[in-house]
Amino acid sequence: MKFRKTLALTLSSLMALSFFTSCSDNGGSSSSSVTSSSGGDSNELVTITYSTWASPDTSDDVMLAEVYRAAESFAENNDKNITIEIQNYGSEYDAKINAMAAANTLPDTMQQQPGQKCTTYGKLGKLEVLNKYLDEDEKWKNSFAEGMFSQVEADGDIYAVPISFAAGCVFYNKDIFSEAGVEADNIKTWEDFLDACETLKQHGTIPLAMASSSGAGWCISLFTAYLAQRLGGLEPMEAIAEREEGYTFDQENFIEAGRMTLDLLKKGYIQASSIGDSADQANAYFTSGQAAMICQGSWVVGALNAEGSQVIGKIGVIPFPSVDGGKGDASVWMGKTDNVSMSADSEHKDAVLEWMKYVTSDKFQTESIAYKSGKIPTTNITVDESKVPDGFMSVSTALKDSAGTFMFFDEWFGAALGSEWNGALNAIMTELKTPEKAFADLQDYAVNRQGETAA
């Protein structure tokens, strides 16, 4: 998916959002069932299966809790006897979905990552093409912000509906910055960022919290991918995503980005426990006030405002800095949609469609996505600025100055290469491999890989 196709995503979605200063709220818990077979008896109980990669017990992502609550509320309140059985596969999600896709046993509906992880399954006929359902319900189709389907469509076919948008952000603690004498507005370049890190370190604060454990390569990628884009532009990533002839990971912008990220750890700008820390543990360094910054997806806004957080009312956002001499546009942001897809083999497509409409309704988008989760809604709704979590408006304001978005690399590259990309970054941060070796090995894997369903 070329960058030019996603340029409008952030701007159009934010412009569609209107704000006013004074609206309400929804929730839920996991439940077991949803179904309504096509044209079946309205009194017949139908259960649809919905797969996800985490539960509220294992993730800080507030939206997951909202989806579980929505499943329960949907099952209790729909008039078509539909219930939902949620299947949580945790860290095995990609492998499970890949295996089920190969065996034609996908769940009725899924929490769907964007990019190649979505469109590859779609092109293989595993996911239902949703265009006809959208065309049949013009009001529903027109409720989505312009450009929202760009990360889940290929060759004009739409394979999922987006339910929220999030961006990769550098969050900072306003109070710590003020106490240390660091001006957020002055951090424009990589050298500015390094200067701020040194000042914060001398102040006795961890400058940047980052998770680098074996399962947290995606956390490293949130930071290193920005560096790779700032250094080399988006053309190298586009070539990889499109599998263009001659594409390669073994190039200087990736190697240098890995080297620059590792250098932060070596200089003490990242917490010493990073290589053993999970995403939630790294987040805790920030919410407890021990770390001044964290580079995370804006899906953490809800968690940053959870009970016990020490940063409520103190959260700011800065654009990722430019790199002197780099080819990349420093005004673009990394962004993604969270989505819901439908199995092409589902026997309960009408019921799945009802579920899709439920999680893209004005109520769910306003109350669960914006007010509870702190994520950016994907539909044209009005948001009460006084009810969004701290940090939501900082993200929204920063994104309005964006020239566009590019995708999270592990999703852009596809399941197999995306996973290997994250693994390469983990190997660099743990110093199991040099950046040169890590990306040479990744290229070797890309050239010689075989037999993946979602490459």
Q: For 163-174, how does the pLDDT look when each residue is reduced to its tens digit (9 = 90+)?
A: 999 999 999 999
Q: Is the pLDDT of residue 39 over 50?
A: no
Q: Are residues 316 and 367 in the same domain?
A: no
Q: Tokens for 57?
A: 């017990």
* 229/358 same-domain check: no
Q: Phi/psi at 150 (nearest 5 deg)?
A: -65, -25
> How many domains are contained in the chain?
2
pLDDT of 452 higher than 50: no
Q: Is residue 318 included in any domain, yes or no?
A: yes
Residue 152 or 40, more confident: 152
Mean pLDDT score, 211-229:
97
Q: Please check whether residues 279 and 142 belong to one and the same domain.
A: no
Tell me, what's the pLDDT at 415? 84
Whether residue 271 lies inside any domain: the answer is yes
- Same structural domain, 142 and 211: no
Judge whether residue 24 has pLDDT over 80: no
Across 153-157, average pLDDT: 97
Dihedral, CA of residue 66, residue 68, residue 70 and residue 72, to nearest 10: -150
Antiparallel, parallel or unpaired: β 315-318 and 206-209 = unpaired
Residues 56 and 198 in one domain: no
Mean pLDDT within 133-145: 97
pLDDT given at position 109: 98
Q: Is residue 454 part of a domain?
A: no
Residue 391 in any domain: the answer is no
Query: Residue range 335-343: average pLDDT?
Result: 97
Residue 20, pLDDT > 70, answer no
Residue 28 clears pLDDT 70, i.e. is over it: no
pLDDT for 1 beyond 50: no
Give me the long-range contacts of 173-176 (CB less than 8 A, separation at least 24): 173/286, 173/289, 173/291, 173/292, 173/293, 173/311, 173/314, 173/315, 173/316, 174/314, 174/315, 174/316, 175/289, 175/314, 176/200, 176/203, 176/205, 176/289, 176/292, 176/314
CB 357 within 8 A of CB 365: no
List the beta bridge partners of residue 294.
171, 209
Does the structure show a pLDDT above 60 at 14?
A: no
pLDDT in tens, 51-75: 999 888 888 789 999 999 999 999 9
Do both 430 and 313 map to the same domain?
A: yes
**pLDDT class for 437, splitting at 50, 70, 90?**
very high
pLDDT of residue 13: 56
Question: Do residues 256 and 376 share a domain?
Answer: no
What pLDDT score does 163 carry?
A: 98
Does the structure show a pLDDT above 70 at 342? Answer: yes
Q: Are residues 358 and 423 in the same domain?
A: no
- Inside any domain, residue 401: no
Q: Taking residues 200-225, report their average pLDDT.
A: 97
For residues 252-258, give the mean pLDDT: 98
Do 213 and 89 share a domain, yes or no? no
In a domain, 210, yes or no: yes
For 320, phi then psi, to 5°, come to: -65, 135
Q: What is the rounded average pLDDT for all residues in the chain?
A: 90
Q: Are residues 157 and 191 in the same domain?
A: no
Residues in the chain: 455
The CATH number of the domain where 142 resides is what? Answer: 3.40.190.10
Selection from 392, 391, 384 nearest residue 24 by Cα = 384
Q: Please tell me whether residues 218 and 341 are part of one structural domain.
A: no
Q: Is the pLDDT confidence value at 426 over 90? A: yes
- Locate 437 and state its tokens: 């070796």
- Quote the domain boundaries for residue 424: 167-333+407-448
Q: Is residue 173 part of a domain?
A: yes
* Interatomic CA distance for residues 432 and 119, integer angstroms: 33
- What is the pLDDT, as a whole number, of residue 17? 62
pLDDT of residue 16: 56
5 vs 305, more confident: 305
Q: What's residue 38's pLDDT?
A: 39
pLDDT given for residue 22 in this prediction: 42
- Position 59 scores a pLDDT of 81
Evaluate whether residue 20 is within a structural domain: no
Q: Which residue has the higher pLDDT, 96 or 38?
A: 96
Work out the burial of residue 61: count CB atoms within 10 Å of its CB; fewer than 13 is exposed, 13-18 middle, 19 or more buried.
buried
Considering the domain architecture, whether residues 159 and 272 belong to the same structural domain is answered as: no
pLDDT tens per residue across span 101-138: 999 999 999 999 999 999 999 999 999 999 999 999 99
